[in-house]
Amino acid sequence: MVEIEVSIKRLSAALFKMRIQEYLIGKDFDYLCMEKNTDEVWKHFEDQVRAESSVAILIPGYTGYAEEAFPRFLQLLYSKEKDFLPSFLTELIHRALPKLNRTQLEEIASKCEEMGYDARIEKGSIQITNRSKPSISSGSNEEDQSLGEALDEVASSLSIEVIRSLLPDDLKKEGQNMGEAYVFLYCVENSLRLFIDATLRQQYGANYFGKIQTNKVIRNKLIDRKKAEKENQWLPVRGQVEVFYLDFGDLGTIIQNNWDSFSHFFPNQKWITQKIDELSSIRNLVAHNSMISKTERDLIRVYYSQIMRQIESGWPTG
């Protein structure tokens, strides 16, 4: 059995979604294989899948064997004839799927780029060309392996049907977008914590938390979380700075209740507290793996930039 790489599976799944399997079972594909001297390779996998199948494949229009054979066929060409495959794919797509729209062509292009090829879309057609193929490690070092690489490793062990149904390419793309949002939110939240700590420490000293204005909810939250941290040693230690035990939304309350300490940084209370409330709501969506829109991602970037510029304007110099 040929082991099929995840990038091949994704390309195959995209082409099957566009009904290329109907072309694969016809005479035109056989002629293309003959022209490209790959007819024996295709026949080998075609016969292999037919032999494995328990389905009566004489049913008119049955394409199941082509769906099984095609990824194996591509994998062998990719492994043995990687410089030849781009021209073959270009010709195949041109003949089999001549009426694809821009979105469909871009989907195919992205899958080819995952395989290490360049793909250019011009005048309703796609041109796939060679680029140095990234090396694929035969083993994995758990300490050095990124989560993206680990995800690909999981996907490589799955069937095309499972990938198509449960791990589609757009799911990974959404995850990458959410990862970027998390990085921004992490920086926003913790930049504000450090800002509040530095500002209040300068005014009241290291033990400032007992001297500032808070409320009962915040005080109880602080007590409960310190107690839980002490009782459960597996919990991450937040340190000795109280502001790091609080939720994102609580930071706005601290600034609002101690406005005299922060008023020279921001135009008014509503300017900063409203932004913190909105960012806190987006953070909760991200924390619960709910997809956020491009508008919300753009809002995170804009608000972080605005907040940091305002803080810088009032930051002590020298």
Which three-class secondary structure state does DSSP give residue 312? helix
**Does 123 share its domain with 47?**
yes
Each residue's pLDDT tens digit in the chain (318 positions)? 668 888 888 899 889 888 888 888 888 888 888 888 888 888 888 888 777 765 544 455 566 678 888 988 998 888 887 788 888 999 999 898 888 888 888 889 888 888 888 888 887 889 898 874 444 344 444 445 566 666 666 766 667 677 667 767 677 777 777 888 888 888 889 999 999 999 999 999 988 999 999 999 999 988 888 887 777 654 444 556 889 889 999 999 999 999 999 999 999 999 999 999 999 999 988 888 888 888 888 899 899 999 999 999 888 875
Q: Does the residue 150 lie in any domain?
A: no
The CB density around residue 282, as the number of other CB atoms within 10 Å, is 22
Rounded CA-CA distance 173/79 in Å is 26
Contact 167, 158 (CB under 8 A): yes
Q: Does the residue 250 lie in any domain?
A: yes
User: Where would I find the beta strands (DSSP E) of the chain?
Assistant: 118-122, 125-129
Question: For residue 237, what are the domain limits?
Answer: 171-314
Tokens of 122: 């011009």
Output phi, psi for 174, to 5 deg. -60, -40
Contact 113, 12 (CB under 8 A): no
User: What's the structural domain count of the chain?
Assistant: 2
Q: Does the residue 153 lie in any domain?
A: no
Question: Residue 233 has what pLDDT?
Answer: 55
Most distant pair of Cα atoms in the chain: their distance: 85
Q: Does the residue 19 lie in any domain?
A: yes
Question: Residue 135 has what pLDDT?
Answer: 41
**Does 205 share its domain with 104?**
no
Tokens of 208: 């400032």
**Does 115 share its domain with 247?**
no
Rounded CA-CA distance 310/250 in Å is 20
Q: Does the residue 269 lie in any domain?
A: yes
